[in-house]
Amino acid sequence: MDDLCDLLDLFIMEFIISPRLALYNYSAQMDDEEKIKVALRHLSTCGKHVDNQKNGKSKFRALAYIEEGNKKFESLFREDLLEIYTKAAMYAEIGSNELARAYGNRSAHLYTSGLYEDALIDIERALAIGYNDDTKTKLYVRRAKCLFVLKKEMSPEIEEALSDARKWLDKMKEADKKYMTKILDKFPEGLLNKTPFKKYDYNALLPEPPQDNPKIPGASGAIELKYSDQFGRHVVATRDINAGETIIVHRSYATVIDSKFSHKYCWNCCKRAWSGVPCHKCVEVIYCNETCRDKAWSEHHEIECKVISVITREKLDIYDLLALRLTAKAYKEAGSLKKLQEKIRKIDSIDDPILKCLTNNRFDHTKYESVYSLWRHNTIDSDTALRLSLILCSLAATTNIFGEKILNSKQLLNNEEATFIGRLMLVNHEIASMNASKFSGDNNAGLALDPLWSLFNHSCDPETINMTPGNIMSLTAFQRLEKGQQVCINYDEPFFFAYIPNRRLLHKKFRFECECRACKECWAPDFFLKFPHCEAYTPAALMKKLGLSSIFGEFKKFGDMVNANDDTKVVLIPDLFRVLDFYLRVYGYPRVEIIEIKLILVHISSALSHKY
């Protein structure tokens, strides 16, 4: 076989059609080490080697995407054309003329789309690499145009761009030279006067991160971790908490982007990458900027990069990618394989379930200890074990993680370090499948894993609401919580969206019986209409009583707020929480109006999280 992709296809086919592959029949009681050895043994039966020289960069594919984009420039929707030029950049060799052209052509599309700042970024990149002399005038004129639209007046920076444009006029073809001279002579006459495209910053949605919990960084001092035989590890309130109080704001430990969106979102921070930069080595990921690219390389991508180059991401489940990410981060965090083994042995030796997940006596969600100790159960099937063993083979063949490259899967069978990493990937896959959640953005765009999030138990009547734009995890109190009360989140859908049979399916997946009030009293959608009412207040009356924003008072009724524009919704969120807390303090729970405001907040937060 030429590469591991072909090897994968071969083994999956043999795995499905050949009765001699008894991997399907292995005992569910096997430990993780035995599972990975069984999978490796079956891989080794072919005696094939991994091609660790595969490189996805291709001048010809980059040129093909550039030409496709140029042909369709006037006809394609903004997102589609942006994808084509971004893929051209992903396939272009670093520092190549093709990469400069990809950036330069994408800058033209960004300019016509109203993304002027991103266009300027691409122009600078193209010029820094070395754009063709006969087209540099176009780039400098485009720079001047972007600056003029943003500044609304002439400036020395714009004059400099125009001067640079004139310097390269003589390098152009005669027809192009005449056209650009005419533009330069009349500048800024006839400029595109398109309003800048509205880009959303998810930081605008988030409250200030709490700083008052010395035991749980990034969390409010109003919570602490507890353990009981009934609830396992869980979170309780250390004081009374009001509705609208911030409980958590921090970056999740690990995120991965689905292959369908690999050209769209940053592989490091998950922000929308309008002027994304590719990895220097692989063609599988992009980043929103060079800073994110460098950070990702040092934290995890140096390990992942070669693996996902030889096993294309379409061949892997997204949970496989997350298991690889967790393993890579654990390795990089430890600093060496030996130190990682020592860390895992230390965690395994701790019996106390709280101490097990702590680092230096703190629950630090940025450390692997907090991840490795998460709840999991024996769910690895033979298909998954086979895919993870292929990842292990690729790690051995393309990196120096085991000291030297190992090209033959047979050599891994008796390699204790390889068995250790294989077992760790199986553990991480189980952790990912039980604890990861979808992050906001395009539907199913990717997964995020936050270890602290995973320690909150479930309630069908949500006591908290989450806002998770990008890779930021935030949690806000949805109800008033008393000191000593367990703080819960909702794993799927609250009772006002999901009927009890659907909720039982969720409970079956996570292997627990929900004992929240909504389940005990059989609350379901529309059930809240049977609750008593609060005193009738209009938004305008509440505005005066509680000192809310004038925007809040402009609405005739609460339900209209769901249809407000996005900027107004951002303003309404804190006001809605203040009204919620007022109703809870004065009238108690449950009440019809309280559930209605919860519904509005869920709708607004969901709508905004898909844009920010």
pLDDT (0 to 100) of residue 4: 43
Which one of 28-42, 53-67, 170-184 scores highest in mean pLDDT?
170-184
- pLDDT, tens digit (0-9, with 9 covering 90-100), for 215-267: 999 999 999 999 999 899 999 999 999 999 999 999 999 999 988 888 999 99
Spell out the residues 6+ positions from residue 230 whose beta carbon is closer than 8 angstroms to its own: none
The CATH class that applies to domain 59-186 reads mainly alpha
Strand partners, 472: 251
- pLDDT, tens digit (0-9, with 9 covering 90-100), for 106-131: 999 999 999 999 999 999 999 999 99
pLDDT (0 to 100) of residue 37: 72
- pLDDT, tens digit (0-9, with 9 covering 90-100), for 330-374: 999 999 999 999 999 999 999 999 999 999 999 999 999 999 999
The residue extents of the domains of the chain are 59-186, 209-252+450-491, 530-609
- pLDDT, tens digit (0-9, with 9 covering 90-100), for 513-572: 788 898 889 898 888 889 999 998 999 999 999 999 999 999 999 999 999 998 899 899
Same CATH topology for 59-186 and 209-252+450-491: the answer is no
Q: Pairing relation of β-strands 457-458 and 254-257?
A: unpaired
pLDDT (0 to 100) of residue 42: 60
Neighbours of 404 (CB within 10 A): 7
Q: Residue 160: is its pLDDT beyond 50?
A: yes
pLDDT (0 to 100) of residue 7: 41
CA torsion, ordered 553, 559, 565, 571, to nearest 10 deg: 50
* pLDDT confidence band for 88 (50 / 70 / 90): very high
Mean pLDDT of 430-443: 80
pLDDT (0 to 100) of residue 13: 36
pTM: 0.89
Cα–Cα dist 2/9, whole Å: 12
* pLDDT confidence band for 295 (50 / 70 / 90): very high
By mean pLDDT, which of 360-374, 431-445, 448-462 is the weakest?
A: 431-445
* pLDDT confidence band for 16 (50 / 70 / 90): very low
Q: Residue 18: is its pLDDT beyond 60?
A: no
Instruction: Return the percentage of the chain with pLDDT > 70, whole number.
Output: 91
Spell out the residues 6+ positions from residue 565 whose beta carbon is closer than 8 angstroms to its own: none
pLDDT (0 to 100) of residue 49: 47
Higher pLDDT, residue 208 or 20: 208
Residue 526 zone, left/alpha/beta (φ > 0; ψ -120 to 50; rest): left
Q: Which fold has domain 209-252+450-491?
A: Beta-clip-like (2.170.270)
Mean pLDDT of 586-592: 94
pLDDT (0 to 100) of residue 51: 53
Residue 375 zone, left/alpha/beta (φ > 0; ψ -120 to 50; rest): beta
- pLDDT, tens digit (0-9, with 9 covering 90-100), for 380-415: 787 888 888 889 988 998 888 998 888 877 788 888
CB 609 within 8 A of CB 587: no
Q: Residue 20: is its pLDDT beyond 60?
A: no
